[in-house]
Amino acid sequence: MGILNDDAVVIKEPETAGDNTLITVNCPDKTGLGSDLCRVILLFGLSIARGDVSTDGKWCYLVFWVVGKPTTRWYLLRERLLEVCPPCTPALSEMFYFRPEFQQPKPPNVFLLKFWCTFDRKGLLHDVTKVLCELELAVKRVKVFTAPDGRVMDLLFVTDTRELLHTKRRQEETKSQLNAMLGDNMISFEVELAGPGVMANPHGSAFLPPAITDDMYGLELSGTNMSGTLSSNRVSITVDNQLSQSHTLIHIVCQDHKGLIYDIMRTLKDYNIQTSYGRFSSKGKESFEVDLFVMQVDGKKIVDTEKQNVLCSRLKMELVRPLRVEVMSRGPDTELLVANPVELTGRGRPLVFYDITLAITSLSIRIFSVEIARHMIGDREWEVYRVLLDEGDVALVPRNLIKECVVKNLMGWE
């Protein structure tokens, strides 16, 4: 039945410097496959320059032209893309592709990494985060404590993409990589399986400041009108039911940002909208154009005006401001808050914590403590990062500059 799974993903690196890397995916279809593939591409820190997507509901063919990096591990990217592709065996009939149990893997085990360092330094947490990303360990929660004598204890709750952190070999690899980076600064290191209650209730305190929550309520129905230099207002979304007899065309023109196609695809996935054909590409330095021929899960066009408005408003919200960033006072201290929506599958946006720590490090600000938690705001779940900054360092950097730097890093804007 079709091609072998090992050939489902083909990556062709550019022959000429400056050209894009070509990723081809040819496999059985499933609801949300485009979102899952784009999430993996974003997880590896790559941006999509253009792409083509086509499917008949049973089999799909996707092509992505991505901007690579010298450090990109293409063999590992291919493995991760293969993992989200549905299995291709004669034993599976087409009706299995859309069954939830074949789409939703069981939640991975959560492990606690606990280590002490002799002293804090600027960029320490980012360097740790970078090592964990290279090891494919995803940070779920963080607690960082600085003792009065200057020593630092890091508690990081992580999941392992390779699902091997329970083994001694994988734990030793993690310790070795961190020790190579920290050197004599590391005092001790421990790995243990987190208790079942750690992530069973990952929600933080109920209170979030209005600066984060105000534009999250009723935004889909009222439309988005968010101004400022830290958000993109150049978003145009049109719906056309005349061009195709069987599909609704969604045409989007917007400013490009990191994870743009992922933001579109995960939104359609959350609304159970299936994409049969799509084409997207960069139109200049800042503009991106997307054409998607879609249909509802029942195989019909989106003809209801209210449904069209709700979907367009949600898409516009995700494209104007996919993340919320604020810098504010928390008592005598300064706190950075970053919030991003969680997929209905329970997964947050990739690399958010990495980008936050990179931005803070570039400003030569030390991080005093971090809390990552989930919050229900309206009918949606959000992943909120609360970063308490070193007040001595913050006094030298204007708050608006901190916010601008974090936003630009998260959005991939120079």
String of DSSP letters for 201-254: S-B--S---HHHHGGGSSHHHH-----STTS----EEEEESSS-SS-EEEEEEE
- Tokens 């950075």 belong to residue: 336
Pairing of strands 186-193, 137-146: unpaired
Task: Indicate the SS3 state at residue 67.
Answer: strand
106 vs 46: CA distance, rounded Å: 26
Highest-pLDDT range among 101-110, 183-192, 199-208:
183-192
Helices (H), 228-323: 260-270, 305-320
Contact (Cβ atoms closer than 8 angstroms) between residue 161 and residue 351: no
379 vs 216: CA distance, rounded Å: 10
Which CATH fold topology does 323-413 show?
A: Alpha-Beta Plaits (3.30.70)
Helices (H), 44-167: 74-84, 100-103, 124-134
H-run or E-run covering 176: helix 168-182
Residue 266 pLDDT: 95
- Tokens 């021929």 belong to residue: 293
- Look at residues 404, 411, 382 and name the one whose alpha carbon lies nearest to residue 336: 404
- Architecture of the domain whose range is 1-103: 2-Layer Sandwich (3.30)
Which CATH fold topology does 108-198 show?
A: Alpha-Beta Plaits (3.30.70)
Domain edges within the chain: 1-103, 108-198, 208-219+232-318, 323-413
255 vs 263: CA distance, rounded Å: 13
Q: Span 195-223, mean pLDDT?
A: 55
Structure tokens at 125: 């947490």
Residue 89 pLDDT: 60
Structure tokens at 368: 């005093």
Tell me the helices (H) and strands (E) count for the chain, helix number first.
Answer: 13, 16
Q: What is the pLDDT of residues 2-32, one digit of tens each?
A: 444 668 999 998 888 788 999 999 999 988 8
Higher pLDDT pick, 105 / 167: 167
Contact (Cβ atoms closer than 8 angstroms) between residue 92 and residue 103: no
Structure tokens at 64: 């992505």
Higher pLDDT pick, 218 / 56: 56
H-run or E-run covering 132: helix 124-134
The region of weakest confidence among 305-309, 322-326, 343-347, 356-360 is 343-347
Same fold, 1-103 and 108-198: yes
Which CATH fold topology does 208-219+232-318 show?
A: Alpha-Beta Plaits (3.30.70)
Structure tokens at 180: 């190579």
Report how far apart the first and last C-alpha atoms of the chain are (Å, whole number).
46
52 vs 63: CA distance, rounded Å: 5
Q: What is the pLDDT of residues 61-96, one digit of tens each?
A: 999 999 988 889 999 999 999 999 988 665 544 444
Q: What is the pLDDT of residues 257-302, one digit of tens each?
A: 999 999 999 999 999 999 999 999 988 767 899 999 999 989 999 9
Contact residues for 359 (Cβ-Cβ < 8 A; gap 6+) = 405, 406, 408, 409, 410
Q: Span 53-65, mean pLDDT?
A: 94
Highest-pLDDT range among 100-114, 149-163, 187-201, 221-235:
149-163
**What letter would DSSP give residue 98?**
G
- Report how far Cα 71 is from the mean position of its chain's Cα atoms: 20
Burial of 71 (0-12, 13-18, 19+ CB in 10 A): exposed
Residue 218 pLDDT: 41
pLDDT reading at 1 higher than 70: no
